[in-house]
Structure 1
Amino acid sequence: MELIWIVVLLAALFCGLILLVSRIYINRTLKKISQIINNCLSGNIDLDKEVAETRESKITMQLRTVIERAEHEKNCAKLEKNEVATLLSDLSHQLKTPLANLSMYIELLKDERLTREEQQEFIKKVSEQNSKMEWLTKMLIQISRLEVGIIEFDAAPIELRETLSESISLVYGSTARKRMEIEVEDFTDCKLIHSRKWTKEVFVNIFENAIKYSKEYSKILVRVVPMEIYTKIMIIDEGIGISKEEFSQIFKRFYRGKQVRETEGSGLGLYLAQLILAKEGGYITVDSTVGRGSVFSVFLQNSK
């Protein structure tokens, strides 16, 4: 009987000891986890440091994943917030002038002494300013969406000839008004990696600049030069030219060259062109001589 009580007592003591040890271990583990969390949150832990395969190291690695995801989402949210703020600021700045002009023309139209011809002229100016605001808004939204990666590019190996033909047809009216000609040197059609929709935007922006800053009856030449990795599409105009000091500046957002600041424009076309080409894995360069014209070279990747 005494033996049974001794066994029971020893068993009870053993269970109590296990419970005590377990409680101490759990408390220490919880304290360690709390310490790891605090260190991670305060940045006082080297998450890339090699650690032993213990429970603590596994918890640390899992915390790293959680913190990195949270940091990534925070950065994305901050980036989107900044882009929205930039877009609103840009819209406000760029729309200020056309809105002021629009308001002025509307006030002038209220004058009952205007002749029918004068009324028609002001109505035409109102329409022009409205079109300008629509274009600016569209352009800035496109740029913003491209910058944050909202727009998915469908760049694929497709024929260059059709892309060029469609681009030239889009500026036919502008060339006709200035009695200009776009000549494409004969070339063997090839498949280049690009999005037809977006690459047309690139070519149209370059053509429109060439038309705007060239004299009547002048010519724009398009030359296609095959290369090992890229194909170079050269757009050669006979315009006013660009100084070498401005070569690195003209692709910046809203930049207007010294010679063209009195000419209407937004300074967005070449910035958008560069942005689109970068998304496609291509790029753009410029060479120019003031008074003799410019050569814009678009580089698109060859299809492998």
Structure 2
Amino acid sequence: MQTTWTVLVIDDSAADRTLYRRYLTRDPHQQYTLLEASSGAQGLACYSELAQDKPVDVILLDFALPDMTGLQFLQQLPDHYPQTAIIMLTAYGDEEVAVSALKGGAQDYLLKDGLQPDRLQHTVRNVIAQAQLRQQVIKTQERQRLLTQIAFQIRQSLELQQTLNTAVTEVRNLLQCDRVLAYQFATDMSGTIIAESVQAGYPATLGQTITDTYFQHQGAQDYCAGRSQIVSNIHTADLNPCHRNLLAQFAVQASLVTPILVQVKPENRNQLWGLLVAHQCSMPRAWQTDEVHTLHELAIHLAIAIQHAELLAKTQTALKKEQALSAFKSQIITTVSHEYNAPLTAIQTAAETLQTHYQNLDLAKQERLLAIIEQKSKHMAGLVKNMLLVNQAELDELQIAQAPIHLGQLLTYLLTEHQITAAERHHLALSTQGHLEGVVGDRSLLQQVFNNLISNAIKYSPDGGKIEIQLIGEAKQVVCHISDEGIGIPRAEQRLIFQTFSRGSNVGAIEGTGLGLHIAKIAVALHGGTIDVMSQEGHSSQFTVCLPKTEPA
């Protein structure tokens, strides 16, 4: 559609005004709306009135007006819009007047005498083109200034959510639209709106999770390629029906969407992180080219800020983990120093006794001293094994080997071992029911789990009593209850008992590191199972391990 330009002719000669009107209305390349004024004052009033609605595009200004000169008119003219061009007309071919006119703000200068139609038409078209170019330069400079300002504000914070909140607020102010939001994709191309700035009166979308088939198909491919989606009117655009309904749900009339692409190293490829979206809800909107470029440039700045924020978050997480690991290692050193002291002393004492008094000791005493050395050595070996397992778990390096495990056989083996070393006052019993087959996992790791639980049941029952192990084969899992009649665990401490180095406050002088239950929790979780405790302080404890069965292939 051809643009109609507004021309204001200011000349005290009615004949000249008529001539200019005839020349311009016959221009085959442009259409004009012509307005006339016969004096400078009348021209200024007309210009000011029009400026409030649609500014004048061109002023044809006579140099010699009855109430002022053209130069005086330019001095009184308010700062005109960048698209308003002024052509000075004079009957005198005075170069000094021409220079003064151009310095005063006129874009061109024409002699009235012998003025031809094509000359006037060409000059008017030329100054309009210059004014448009000048307007575009000013607009571009302003856009760059605002872009720089927003980019600086976006990058001021390295906290991701604050960065996103700043971005959507500033972009909405810049584009003067009704809503701007940041949308982050999940791996299945669903996603969540994680930041939003919205005009009052329109529905808020913040926090909503969206599953749109458009994103799973063509939309994702287009965005990954860096293409934007420009929709001036959702009702007339060629949109996926599901996508159109989604936009209508949020009262959207027009939308502008550009991808947020972050760089993935070491491949140096772009990954679709999310979308930066602008919505116009009040009416359809023809998005301008510079607006599309603006949103695209800001998405690039936002992607860089996101990468910096995510890198900082990863660094902070790694630092916290390193600090926790350092504290853990310090605790290990302290624990090892403390826990090794008693068994080492016992081993050293037994060994020295055997070495010094070997000839004077009967066979029973020799065997008893050797049993002490063996028992304490096993205790120390178990302590080292526990330390290594926890260290692997802290480094996320603990892995399991997959093999079928019959828990009935495993627990029978462990119970036999413990019955040999347990005091006569402890009574160990195992009962089974149901089908126990179907558990797949790491035999060595699960053996350590149940060995720790049985050892604890014996150790924390210093007065003896019954230690009962029940194995129940259910349809989808095998459940193991290990119950004792020992000292129990204080209620307030039961939720902490699976943490590293955590022990009940009522253990007194009973030896222990506080690692066994933590290892059990980790190992059972790696097998997809659960471990829980029910305990009454001073009476009993029951630990329950549930391990899932694996469906046969």
TM-score, normalised to structure 2, is 0.42
Select between 249-258 and 21-30 the one with higher mean Cα deviation.
21-30
Instruction: Check whether the contact 1:175–1:211 (CA below 8 A) recurs between aligned residues.
Output: no
**1:297 aligned residue:** 544
2:152 to 35, 38, 51: 35
Match of 1:135, SS state, is helix
Tell whether 2:471 aligns with 1:223.
yes
Whole-angstrom distance in 2 between the partners of 1:87 and 1:249: 17
How many angstroms does 1:258 deviate by?
A: 5.0
Whole-angstrom distance in 1 between the partners of 2:323 and 2:411: 33
Whole-angstrom distance in 2 between the partners of 1:185 and 1:99: 37
Instruction: Check whether the contact 1:193–1:303 (CA below 8 A) recurs between aligned residues.
Output: yes
How many angstroms does 1:183 deviate by?
A: 2.0
**2:204 aligned residue:** none
The root-mean-square deviation of aligned C-alpha atoms, in Å, is: 4.5
**2:325 aligned residue:** 84
Distance change in 2, residues 1:265/1:21 (3 Å) = same
Match of 1:295, SS state, is strand
Distance change in 2, residues 1:288/1:165 (3 Å) = same
The aligned amino acid for 2:474 is P
Match of 2:389, SS state, is helix
Select between 133-142 and 210-219 the one with higher mean Cα deviation.
210-219
Whole-angstrom distance in 1 between the partners of 2:528 and 2:534: 21
Distance change in 2, residues 1:133/1:106 (3 Å) = closer
The structure with the largest helix share of the pair is 1
Match of 2:436, SS state, is coil
Whole-angstrom distance in 2 between the partners of 1:36 and 1:290: 58
2:451 to 193, 197, 204: 204
1:185-222: per-residue Cα shift (whole Å, max 9, x none)? 24312424654443322211111122334567955332
**1:5 aligned residue:** none
Instruction: Check whether the contact 1:241–1:288 (CA below 8 A) recurs between aligned residues.
Output: no
Whole-angstrom distance in 2 between the partners of 1:42 and 1:254: 34
**1:177 aligned residue:** 421
1:63 to 304, 320, 326: 304
Distance change in 2, residues 1:295/1:107 (3 Å) = closer
**2:336 aligned residue:** 95
Distance change in 2, residues 1:39/1:288 (3 Å) = closer
Query: Taking every aligned residue pair, what percent have the same amino acid on both sides?
Result: 21
**1:4 aligned residue:** none
Match of 2:510, SS state, is coil
Match of 2:434, SS state, is coil
Whole-angstrom distance in 1 between the partners of 2:342 and 2:356: 20
- Greater RCO (CA < 8 Å, at least 6 residues apart): 1
How many angstroms does 1:268 deviate by?
A: 1.8
The aligned amino acid for 2:316 is N
Match of 1:296, SS state, is strand
1:110-259 → structure 2 map (5 Å cutoff): 115-117=356-358, 132-153=379-400, 159=404, 162-170=406-414, 172-178=416-422, 180-192=427-439, 194-214=441-461, 218=466, 220-224=468-472, 226=474, 230-237=477-484, 239-243=485-489, 245=491, 246-259=493-506
Structure 1 stretches lacking a partner, 5+ long: 1-9
Whole-angstrom distance in 2 between the partners of 1:58 and 1:146: 39
Select between 30-39 and 88-97 the one with higher mean Cα deviation.
30-39
Distance change in 2, residues 1:247/1:85 (3 Å) = same
**1:3 aligned residue:** none
Instruction: Check whether the contact 1:164–1:200 (CA below 8 A) recurs between aligned residues.
Output: no
Larger Rg: 2
Match of 1:255, SS state, is coil
The aligned amino acid for 1:35 is F
Distance change in 2, residues 1:60/1:141 (3 Å) = farther
TM-score, normalised to structure 1, is 0.69
Match of 2:502, SS state, is coil
Select between 263-272 and 253-262 the one with higher mean Cα deviation.
253-262
1:198-253: per-residue Cα shift (whole Å, max 9, x none)? 332221111112233456795533231526x654221234x324155254343343
Distance change in 2, residues 1:294/1:24 (3 Å) = closer
Tell whether 2:195 aligns with 1:49.
yes
